[in-house]
Amino acid sequence: MATAWNPENITDVAESVGINHLKPEVRNALSRDVEYRLAQVIEEALKFMKHAKRTILWSQDIAQALRVLDVEPLYGYDSTRPLRYGEASIGPGQPLFYVEDEEVDFEKLINAPLPKVPREISLTGHWLALEGVQPSIPQNPTSLDSRNLELLQKGPNANPNLAAMNSIENTTTKPHVKHILSQELQLYFEKVCKAVLDEQQDEYRSAGLASLQNDPGLHQLVPYFVQFVAEKVTHNLKDLFVLTQMMHVTDALVRNPHLHIEPYVASMVPSVLTCLIGRTLGSGIGSLDHFDLRDLAASLLAHLCRKYSKSSKTLKPRLARSCLKNFLDPKKPFGTHYGAILGLSAAGGPDAVRVLIVPNLEEYETLIRDEIASSGTRQAEAEKVVAAILNVLGTLVEDGMPMTNGHTDEGVAEIRRKLIENVGDLIGSRIADSGHIQLAKEVLDCFRT
């Protein structure tokens, strides 16, 4: 059955999100679904147009239809003048509608005055409430201001002198008030920051992290520790010790049962992602120590997703999108690919591995095959990436025990052939040589419709 919606549009959208091999039957099914959704939106929009007793469909009708269907509305500016459509005939029973162009006098257009320069956009942010307490800053009204505003007259006949009578004529000039910490908290913050960066005394460092993980009463210091971690990660990308300690600090804050970390998750994630998929971590040339840091960041990212994905619906999709983009970029180093693979598994679990990693393994093997056959640091990094791929593929199997009994040599050979055909010779051979038949079946199931 032919559809009015061009299936090639579905292919273009799929390729833009990394799905390069979309089957024709899936493409046609999605095309029919898009056509059905468009017809549903237009039908609802026509209802709003008829209720408004209009014969022209407006963009507001489409927005209301999307709202009724519980779909995210379109954003932007709608025209104040409706578009005028003309009708032309290209054959018997085949009308063609087009937007009529407005004729403008060229001389009149040239001599018309220039429009006013728009005002520059300026944005500023402030805390409306911090841990349930409204800070005293100029953007937030104080209790005295609220009381004075209640005493003022409202309406067009209000007395302009009443403000001076209430002694609020200078309310526009208010000093900026900073968030004030007690001396004890300031001293605690300095001591903990110094302790976690002390390379000589392990006990001092462990005590500081244990305090962050268990002590109550640290609510006011949470934004300061988040900013401290972000600054240290940004300015110490070549120092693996500092980066590792910042991940430990973040992990301690997240695991503290007395702290409400949810408002600060969005500020924590960039630091964790930097340590996970950063291009260059550490200063040692040929060193593999940065892989331990990426493992730590991946475990922390998985903990954040498990704990806060329900309250933040966009957390997992944004993390998966960032990791997939780095995994599919052939110009990124193997360290970034390693972190992206672990990040996809941490953010999306087995479903992300099944949908985003497995279909791209055959194409990714062309990038890593030559490095595996070489020697030196590049070969060691490539082996790390292969180990990470096999590790995340293991999450597809619920039972971790290999299942080899009950399979003949011919069956095992056939499974090996199918694995090499679908995921490439390198990864397919590694899975087949492991003897984990259940894992091989799970990987092959990813290619079945």
Q: Please give the structure tokens belonging to residue 147.
A: 């009381």
Q: Which residue has the higher pLDDT, 246 or 179?
A: 246
Q: Write the pLDDT tens digit of every residue in 348-392.
A: 888 888 888 888 888 888 888 877 777 777 888 888 888 888 888
243 falls within a domain = yes
Based on the fold, state whether residues 192 and 66 are members of the same structural domain. Answer: no
pLDDT band, very low/low/confident/very high, at 157 (cuts 50, 70, 90): low
pLDDT for the residue numbered 227: 92
For residues 231 and 190, is the Cβ–Cβ distance under 8 A? no
What is the distance between the alpha carbons of residues 4 and 37, in angstroms, rounded to a whole number? 12
126 falls within a domain = no
Domain, as residue range, for 362:
183-400
129 falls within a domain = no
Q: Which residue has the higher pLDDT, 265 or 93?
A: 265
Q: What's the pTM? A: 0.58
pLDDT band, very low/low/confident/very high, at 246 (cuts 50, 70, 90): very high
78 falls within a domain = no
Over 60: is that where the pLDDT of 158 sits?
Answer: no
Q: Write the pLDDT tens digit of every residue in 383-433.
A: 888 888 888 888 888 654 444 444 555 667 788 888 888 877 888 888 887
Judged by phi (left if over 0) then psi (alpha if -120 to 50, else beta), residue 18 lies in: left
Residue with tokens 């209790």: 143
265 falls within a domain = yes
CATH code (residue 245): 1.25.40.770
Q: Please give the structure tokens belonging to residue 14.
A: 């799929």
15 falls within a domain = yes
Number of domains in the chain: 2
Based on the fold, state whether residues 391 and 249 are members of the same structural domain. Answer: yes
CATH code (residue 65): 1.10.20.10
Among 360, 381, 400, the domain boundary falls at 400
Over 60: is that where the pLDDT of 248 sits?
Answer: yes
Mean pLDDT of the 158-178 span: 47
Which element (helix H / strand E) includes 99? Answer: strand 95-99
36 falls within a domain = yes
